[in-house]
Amino acid sequence: MAIVAFTKRETIVILIFAAMILPIVAYGDPVLKKVAVDITPEYPGLSKLIDDMFETMYQAKGVGLAAPQIGKSIRLFLVDASPFAEDAETEEEEALADFKKVIINAQIIEESGAEWKYNEGCLSIPKIREDVLRKPKIKVRYLDEKFKEHTETLDGIAARIFQHEYDHIEGKLFTDRISPIRRRLLNSKLTDISKGRVEVDYRMKFPIK
């Protein structure tokens, strides 16, 4: 067995290269309002970007993260809903233990069912949660990290997580789905977030200095 010694500086460089915590873009940044573009397998550094996004999402204790949230207007997002299964009270929550995916160039083909309300939050809009209406069942098409195509039907919480992240690559936020009255009531808090006047325990990039 060979033993290789590294200097302190080399070790730091290796660790940084292995995984990087990226700053999450805050509400108010124009990138969050753009419709993102498709990517190909030739997209530069895609594998590293995916690894960094997972690391960033886990550090921020999120269950989903879209590329626009780290400043890249491309149709890429990832999900890992396993935290829902940790204290599962239903079979649906238990099933979320395996709901971990990399989603590229996604399309929602169909939405069905009566809209249902669920309390949502977003890493780009910390400290704010609101009830959002969405369809309970969706049919989707996407590519995974190996650019293999998948067509799936999702429902319940899995569908909602997918819809929330899909909104990001369509230039939408969950606050766009609440009533105008509720948005007006939240306006001062949203302005504070855009200016960095909010306490968070993960890295963020604020659009207004």
- Catalytic (active-site) positions: 165
- Alpha-carbon distance of 58 to 52, in angstroms, equals 10
Q: ∠121-22-102 over CA atoms, to 5°?
A: 65
Taking the C-alpha atoms of residue 98 and residue 91, their distance in angstroms, rounded to an integer, is 12
Residue 101 tokens, joined = 């995916």
Give burial (CB, 10 Å; 0-12/13-18/19+) of 158.
buried
Cα 22 to its chain centre, rounded Å, is 13
